[in-house]
Structure 1
Amino acid sequence: MRIGMILDTTFPIDPRVSNEASALIKKGHEVYLFCLSYKKKFIKEEEINYINVRRYYSSTLTHKLSALAYSFPFYRVLMKKKISHFLKKNRIETIHVHDIQIASAVFSANKYNLPVTLDLHENRPEIMKFYKHVNSLIGKIFINPKKWKIAEEKYCNISDNVVVVTKSAKKELLKRVSVDPQKIIVFPNTVNKDFYTEYSIDKSILNKFSDNFVLLYLGNTSERRGLDLVMKSLPIIKDYIPNIKLVVVGSSSFDKSLLELSRKLKVERYISFEGWKDESYFPSYLSIANIGISPLKSNIHHDTTYANKIFQYMSFGVPLLASDVVSQEEIITKFKVGELFVSENLESFINALKNLYENKDSLEYYSKNGRTAIEKYLNNDIVSKELSSMYDK
């Protein structure tokens, strides 16, 4: 089957897209990926890991208009023509839409009435409430998360299938939409086997942190991720673990605030802000990590999604220290791969970290369990079975 995936950003960048495409290709399907380029000079067509990538130019202004996708029709109109061209030229037989912001354009362009699968990468109507641009004066005037929720429910109802990240997300969605539960499948944000079996190591990274007890954070550093709490623990923890180093691999618009906080707390020497890194560097950072942290703040979105980082930690046997949001608690409790602390509670975080540091046997136990869980239950080959079956019907 010729599957047309629609992504309203650049590629490669999103491991969820790559993981799903990889699973479907292994089952004999052809995957064509519609994606964007924000530069005028770009490769229009290429093959990446057997994915047939098709790029279309999108100006910076058009990209910004995606935030207004359900306030005004501009973005839908601009994307419709590009998607129509993609569907026709590549003789697409079924459409797989990645997330809600481009869904209206896809349905508008689908004049051949092809089957549509809507893939909800996250609970966008909830998480956008925390976006900086949504909370700006202009954002409050023109961007209404309630309209996004209405759109999400509308397109879930008219899609042939819906894909969500967790069972909790499926349960939450079914409270809002009247669809057959069989129509909604779960595809977690886990890892491909290649991620933890075929990789190279940057020795300079290993040497840089060889004398440290490393707390590793991978991914987006926005305020809702909870890194400020971890930093606030350092004035106390540094006296308990003198060689501690918080290694942050990722970035966001919140970085300036994090840097200011580190200076205010006088803990700059205990933090290494590595910035955004290509995923190919992750194995090197995972190899030097003593503990992997995911200190998410509690909200509906975090309760119903999995952060990629928890599976990346587990695949390299890195014990987890994570906040007790529902989805993380589910994984850590079921597979016994780390410790939980009460979300946004500094004392709880410090106590949990001390407990892990003091119990080397627990660290080894969690490390072994993490590797086992990924290998036997949670790698992409295993979790993709439901997705593959959906396209085999």
Structure 2
Amino acid sequence: MPHNILLVSHSDFPANSAVHVHHYANELVKLGCDCVVAVPYNQDSVKEMPNCLYSVVDYNHMEQLPSKFENGFPPQIVHCWTPREHVRKFCCQLSVQYDIALIIHLEDNEECVTSRFLGISLDNFDTHAERLLPHNLSHPRKYKDFLNTADGVTIIIEKLKDFIEPNISYLNLFPGVDSLEFYPRLPDLDLLKKLEISEKSTIICYTGNVHLANQEEVRELYLAIGTRNRAGKKTVLIRTGIDNNLDFLGENDLWVKEYVREMGWVKRAEIPSILSIADILVQPGGPDEFNDYRFPSKIPEFLAMGKPVILPRTNIANHLTHLVNSFILSDVNCYSLVETIDFLMDNPEIRSKIIQGGLEYAKNHLDWGKNSEKLLEFYDSVISVSCSGDEKHKLNQRFKLLIDDYQQANTVKLNLLNENLNNKNQYIQNQEYQISELLSSKQLLESEINAMRSSKFWKLRELWFGIKEKLL
């Protein structure tokens, strides 16, 4: 059984991915492993997470890794969350320094996320787009090369198999839900009062940020709430999360905000109380290149809270059953949402059945402990493979990726130096031209002044000033 395991998060706490890493690290420790979690920066952010059984280190403190493990040795397994650029570079550097088995976790269609962020088709990804690519997104080419060096891959939803080469072993690794945080409970009446919501209102809840990949579907959710109120049915949407400066509603639809309570970013510990006052929980959207390849982190929490959940038929909904443990729509948009909310509020028996089915599904399939046992078995299978020529080839490929990074970084620096030099030369030329123009103007003025001094007018002017001085 592997002992020293390093889990590499692409974000600090308490981002959703980091929360997943937190729970897997804790459960693996309970199973007898020694775990360390690496975050890009701000290792103190782990204080946001309760009951941590593992150590934390920043990426830039790689040399401290062995001392973080009880036996003083480096990691055997490195399991990194996503192949994004800063994660890729960190793990390639680890491969140079330590003898590790590398496992990469996929939780998104990385190409879709990068494309939507940059606002271009990746067919048009060029040097300019590469400069605009932030470190926390995947490079369209390099992430594939990195993925092909993995000793194993975990995927959050089976559709992500599309991105894995057939020769690489994989595990379909569902997330879990903490039943000590998320469980059926009485509504938080103090919160209802604070938000000024009438108990006669139908309350819908959505806990999530708005970003370029989901802004249209969140807009549909807002419009559904507004439409229901215009029909005389009091409905309130409670939303947490940030908008990333996106005006996703547009000027003509701002009227719906009257029926929305936007709480912004809230501490994770507050989420269960917020969900407790909801009548229905909604995941908007529909099947597409983004949604098909992910597992929204809020869904396990929704199911475990004992609320009816409305979902689009994609990702996790393909494992659920309509009217048994969720209400599944082909597309969760404004019009379908209005009809479905009406149906669920008018049919308490069906609502109750869905609630019970959702709780049962969460208990059986979304358990951190059970899923961590499967993960540990997968680790065992990965490290039991002897170091064959193929594994050596993968290691050489990681070295090559690092060398390419250094060469590219040096090329970029050289280009910047040349660009700066060209700019400076251009600046000097401009300054020389301006000096030349000033000298020409100076010579012209001197000629004009000399001409004026030799004129009769200038002599009369000097005579007048002499007489004026004597008179005074």
- Give the Cα separation in 1 of the matches to 2:255 and 2:310: 24
> Of the candidates 377, 388, 411, which is equivalent to residue 389 of structure 1?
377
Residues 206 and 284 in structure 1, CA contact (< 8 A), matched pair in contact too:
no
Q: How many residues align?
A: 359
> Of the candidates 12, 19, 30, which is equivalent to residue 15 of structure 1?
19
Q: Cα deviation per residue 1:90-148 (whole Å; 9 max; x = unaligned)?
A: 33222121211212331233222211111223222222222268799997463579982
Give identity over the alignment, percent.
Answer: 16
- 1:278 corresponding residue in structure 2: 267
Q: Against the structure 1 CA distance between its residues 291 and 201, is the aligned structure 2 distance closer, same or farther, given a 3 Å change threshold?
A: closer
What does 1:200-239 align with in structure 2 at a 5 Å threshold?
Answer: 204-207=190-193, 208=195, 209=197, 211=199, 212-225=201-214, 226-239=217-230
- The more displaced of 358-367 and 382-391 is 382-391
CA RMSD of aligned residues (A): 3.4
Q: Against the structure 1 CA distance between its residues 328 and 201, is the aligned structure 2 distance closer, same or farther, given a 3 Å change threshold?
A: same
2:234 aligned with 1:243: yes
- 2:36 corresponding residue in structure 1: 32
Q: Against the structure 1 CA distance between its residues 132 and 320, is the aligned structure 2 distance closer, same or farther, given a 3 Å change threshold?
A: farther
2:176 aligned with 1:190: yes
- Note the C-alpha offset of 1:187: 1.4
- Give the Cα separation in 1 of the matches to 2:279 and 2:47: 42
Which residue identity does 2:179 align to in structure 1? K
Q: Cα deviation per residue 1:22-63 (whole Å; 9 max; x = unaligned)?
A: 221121111111224359xx589999634433343xxxxxxx
Q: Against the structure 1 CA distance between its residues 344 and 360, is the aligned structure 2 distance closer, same or farther, given a 3 Å change threshold?
A: closer
Residues 13 and 49 in structure 2, CA contact (< 8 A), matched pair in contact too:
no
Which residue identity does 2:80 align to in structure 1? V
Residues 232 and 346 in structure 1, CA contact (< 8 A), matched pair in contact too:
yes
Residues 13 and 19 in structure 2, CA contact (< 8 A), matched pair in contact too:
no
2:141 aligned with 1:150: yes
Runs (5+) with no aligned partner, structure 2? 382-472
Residues 12 and 45 in structure 2, CA contact (< 8 A), matched pair in contact too:
no
- 1:6 corresponding residue in structure 2: 8
Runs (5+) with no aligned partner, structure 1? 57-78
2:74 aligned with 1:92: yes
- 1:65 corresponding residue in structure 2: none
SS in 2 for 1:333: coil
Residues 304 and 327 in structure 1, CA contact (< 8 A), matched pair in contact too:
yes
SS in 1 for 2:181: helix
* TM-score (norm. length: structure 1): 0.80
- 2:98 corresponding residue in structure 1: 112
Q: Cα deviation per residue 1:270-309 (whole Å; 9 max; x = unaligned)?
A: 1110111121111101111111111135422310211011
- 1:49 corresponding residue in structure 2: 51
Residues 186 and 276 in structure 2, CA contact (< 8 A), matched pair in contact too:
no
Q: Against the structure 1 CA distance between its residues 92 and 334, is the aligned structure 2 distance closer, same or farther, given a 3 Å change threshold?
A: farther
Which residue identity does 1:92 align to in structure 2? P
SS in 2 for 1:191: coil
Residues 223 and 254 in structure 1, CA contact (< 8 A), matched pair in contact too:
no
* TM-score (norm. length: structure 2): 0.67
